[in-house]
Amino acid sequence: MKQNFTVRRGGLDGVEAFLSVAQHRSFRRAAADLAVTPSAISQAIRSLEARIGAALFLRTTRSVGLTEAGERFLVRAKPAFEELMTASQVARDLGQRPSGLLRLAVPPGALAILLKPLIATFSRDFPEIEVEIAASGELIDLAAQGFDAGVRLGPFIAADMVTVQLTSPSLLVVVASPDYLRRHKAPQRIGDLRGHRCLRMRRSNGAIAPWAFVEGNKAIEAIVAGPLIANDYVALMGGAVEGMGLVQLPELVAHTALKAGALVQVLKPFAPNAPGLFLYYPSRHQMMPKLRAFVDHVKKRTTAARRSGGGGSL
């Protein structure tokens, strides 16, 4: 028969009263210590003894002592109760001030965008918070995997999440290295991609993503082929920089490489809009101070960027 190891309701009631009486060897002094009446202390001890099934104290008109059962109970109950109080204080501190470990699930392609302007300044402003970043291209269940918040492109975030915009929408651009374009004629039309080596993204559901374009008011998807498939934009961009082929990326991911001349954009007239990055997290009702501090920091940074003409991007 399976044993029931669950502490029954009220199983800890009276333990604090017991420890105080054991310390003071007096019901009256214990009552004063806990700011209750002596009768309340007596009732708590009687209830505890009844649940345990043994007398814990020897009482006379002049003194209070411990029985053998009381001595054994004290040896184990005192450190356990102190540890419980310590645990309660630790949890209380986390619930009252920004501190502890903040775990974020972030796609690898967003790391460079976030680390310099956001995580570094946040760590400086909140030194009692440790930030852990898990770089993953997977769509992570925050609650199930113990994360406080995540970062994703807008369309990939579940509808029941609270979101905060990190970056403005940008174009989805096709880029290649100058070396690749010296060896292969740059495509002028979407159909020209059939003659090119294209680096492709594998989505979290296992499917390889088609490339998206617009021509006039018409959305077009192109199935491409090439030598490299990866599940993260950073790996694909690295392959493109090394001259492996063309790749389609959000402009905010490719921005630095484009500015440095390591990549060159092609098919500009057909570039569609791509959604921005969002911070997302569960209900506000479950928000700890560490997450509230991070959300407020994000909002402050995006507001400052918007006022400086950055379009709301970090």
Angle among Cα 261, 266, 272 to the nearest 5 degrees reads: 115
How much is the pLDDT for 313?
Answer: 53
Half-sphere exposure of 277 (CA within 13 A, CB side): 24
How much is the pLDDT for 157?
Answer: 79
Cβ count near 215 (within 10 Å) = 12
- Among 262, 181, 270, residue whose Cα is nearest residue 218: 270
How much is the pLDDT for 222?
Answer: 96
How much is the pLDDT for 92?
Answer: 67
Give me the tens of pLDDT residue by residue for the chain, a chain 314 residues long.
344 433 344 446 788 899 999 999 999 999 998 899 989 999 999 999 998 899 999 887 778 889 999 899 999 988 888 888 777 776 666 556 788 899 999 887 677 667 667 888 899 999 989 999 988 767 778 877 889 999 887 766 777 888 888 888 889 999 999 999 999 999 999 999 999 999 999 876 788 999 999 998 899 999 999 999 998 888 899 999 999 999 999 888 888 899 999 999 999 999 999 888 889 998 766 678 899 999 999 888 877 766 665 554 55
Q: Please give the model's pTM, rounded to 2 decimal places.
A: 0.58
The domains found in the chain, sorted by start residue, are 15-96 (1.10.10.10), 100-168+276-307 (3.40.190.10), 170-274 (3.40.190.290)
How much is the pLDDT for 300?
Answer: 87
Are 104 and 132 in contact, with CB atoms under 8 Å apart? yes
How much is the pLDDT for 307?
Answer: 63
How much is the pLDDT for 5?
Answer: 35
Phi, psi of 174 (to 5 degrees): -100, 125
